Amino acid sequence: MTSSNQYDAIIIGGGHNGLVAAAYLARAGKKVVVLERRHIVGGAAVTEEIFPGYKFTEFSYVVSLLRPEIIRDLELPKHGLKILPLPSTFTPTENGDYLAAWDDHDLTRREIYRHSPKDAEAYDEYARVMARAAKAIKPIINLIPPDPTSLSMRDMLGLLKVGQFAASLSEKELYAIAKLATQSSADLLEEWFETDALKGTKAASGIIGTFLGPRSPGTAYVLLHHYMGEIDGAFRAWGFAKNGSGGVSGSILNAAQALGVEIRVNASVKQVIVKNGHAVGVALENGDELQSKVVMSAADPKRTFLQFVEGKHFPDEFVTSIQNFRTRGSSGKVNIALSELPNFTALPFEKGHESVLHRGAVSISPSIDYIERAYDDAKYGQISKRPYLDMIFPSMIDPDMAPPGQHVMSCFVQYAPYDLEGGWNDEKRNELGEAVISTIEQYAPNIRKCIVGMQVISPKDIEAIAGITGGNIFHGELLLHQIFFLRPTPQWADFRTPLKGYYFGAAGAHPGGGVMGAAGMLAAKEILKDGM
């Protein structure tokens, strides 16, 4: 065995969390290698030219909560990171009108006022209540989840912090949070609003990445999760990364390499090598073996615990609870290369005079019922006939995403169930693409003739390409029973695992999915705390 295969830490998976963890470890002077199954790193945060000249931000497409301290610690701006603003949401309605919201408070109020004077003001107050709740909860995100049943000093101190935090809340905030934790997003929104398109658009953010509908309890919390990105004011990192999500991974990759991290692509992991109850290295599919003091997995929980490590190294109970971890993929992605921007009936424009709204998100979410009906299809194993779509035109935000004058379009589509009746195949993939295009066509009739090329990604494809079991975009649904000290499983939410020397730092760990980097960073810090 050569010393070149000897490391302090091996990181399995070159997604953004894996890269962040590697960079933090290297920054602490450790010798680190990242093993990536594909030919490129980035995981679900990749940008690829599927059609020459058109860059697709293939899977993830917005930066929601990339931790500001990661940006600073790793000097990501120096390594190419630019997060461009994504300031508006445009929801065309079924009657040919639309509802828009953007980052100017007065303008948004006026726009909603057109639909309902009452909602215009409720919107303000709702945003404040949500932002206050998010602000109140946010300190917990950076906390290593304490185990409430443990008597260790660290857990006790952690619990104390959570307790202090709860005590610092006003009665109103506490009630708001209690409600958010238990309600469905539909119930919550119906308490506030009467405009269908407003409720639909808000409700949509409560179901993203879950296999639930807006009327399912627990979805209100997910709404709050999405508000987290909105409370940092000028410091917020919500937006579209230059060069798409691959731009985020690219900058972390550059930072990691500058810190001395070794990257191995086309390096598929076969198994974690365990000696004397301790993870000591990794065996690759190609027969290579690498040794290390610790191994961290940045893959999804099922791969991490059920595939890379033999079951005998874990307690049965742990294996069972990982088996029960919900990773139901419910969404797909359609990336489209366009010869020109589609013209929305509700937002006509002439070339060169695009609306500001073309630079923001377009949401097909005309009502809560619309989304619930889309869920009804999925519940019984079908692709939604009329799905919820969250679309952006990356080329309108970053002109370098497409050839001059041409465009790319990113369409997040829900629901596309992983467990499709009859299974996924080319025909079903076409059906998903057709559901998306015919849905868009209702609002932008010229969409078909703008299409130059199209990539349809099913949850099966997310699994096959990005390597996420079940194709769930958050590596496991953000449900109340799968967050905080329960993520991925009780007692093991502190990035450690029952196998000594084996760590877990990805979206399936606390604090969850999104291009956040928090799990990778927190895991790296725990690894360093344990010494190696």
Partner 1 sequence: MIELRTTPFHERTSALCQPQNWRKWAGYFAAGSYEHTLDREYWAIRNSAALIDVSPLIKYVIKGKDAAALLHRVTTRDIYKMKVGQVAYTGWCDEEGKMIDDGTVSRLDETTFRLTAAEPNLRWLSMNAVGMEVEITEVTDDIAALSFQGPNTRKVLNKITKKSVDELKYFRLMKNKINEMEITVSRTGYTGDLGYEIWMDAKDALNIWDALMNAGADYGITPVGILALDMTRVEAGLFMLDVDYTSASHAWIESQKSSPFELGLDWTVNLDKQGYFVGRRALEKEKREGSVWKMVGLEVDWVGMEKIFKQVGLPPQIPGMAVRGSLPIFVGNVQVGYASTSTWSPVLKKYIALAHLQKPYFEVGTDVRMEITVEHHRQHAPAKVVKLPFYEPEWKKR
- Contacts with partner 1 by CB under 8 A lie at 100, 102, 106-107, 109-111, 117-118, 120-122, 124-125, 128, 132, 135, 170, 355-357
| C-alpha to C-alpha distance for 256 and 23, rounded to whole angstroms | 4
User: Both ends of the chain: CA-CA distance in Å?
Assistant: 21
Burial of 489 (0-12, 13-18, 19+ CB in 10 A): buried
Q: What is the largest CA-CA distance in the chain?
A: 73
We find the least distance from the C-beta atom of residue 87 to partner 1, in angstroms, to be 11
Contact between 12 and 18 under an 8 Å Cβ cutoff? The reply is yes
Instruction: For partner 1, give the closer residue by CB, 132 or 313.
Output: 132
We find the least distance from the C-beta atom of residue 356 to partner 1, in angstroms, to be 5
Which has the closest alpha carbon to 295: 47, 84, 527?
A: 527
We find the least distance from the C-beta atom of residue 130 to partner 1, in angstroms, to be 13
Which has the closest alpha carbon to 302: 325, 285, 332?
A: 325
State the pairing for strand pair 278-284/289-297.
Answer: antiparallel
Contact between 509 and 488 under an 8 Å Cβ cutoff? The reply is yes
We find the least distance from the C-beta atom of residue 88 to partner 1, in angstroms, to be 8
| C-alpha to C-alpha distance for 143 and 30, rounded to whole angstroms | 24
Q: Taking each helix axis from N to C terminus, what angle separates 219-227 and 171-182, rounded to the nearest 10 degrees?
A: 120
We find the least distance from the C-beta atom of residue 110 to partner 1, in angstroms, to be 5
Instruction: For partner 1, give the closer residue by CB, 99 or 337.
Output: 99
We find the least distance from the C-beta atom of residue 158 to partner 1, in angstroms, to be 24
Contact between 245 and 335 under an 8 Å Cβ cutoff? The reply is no
The one-letter amino acid at 275: K
We find the least distance from the C-beta atom of residue 372 to partner 1, in angstroms, to be 27
**SS3 at position 296:** strand
We find the least distance from the C-beta atom of residue 357 to partner 1, in angstroms, to be 7
Instruction: For partner 1, give the closer residue by CB, 100 or 280.
Output: 100
| C-alpha to C-alpha distance for 504 and 516, rounded to whole angstroms | 15
| C-alpha to C-alpha distance for 10 and 291, rounded to whole angstroms | 8
| C-alpha to C-alpha distance for 257 and 252, rounded to whole angstroms | 8
We find the least distance from the C-beta atom of residue 105 to partner 1, in angstroms, to be 8
What separation in angstroms does the CA of 149 have from each of 154, 446, 484, 497, 520?
12, 59, 14, 17, 25
Q: Report the DSSP beta bridge partners of residue 88.
A: 102
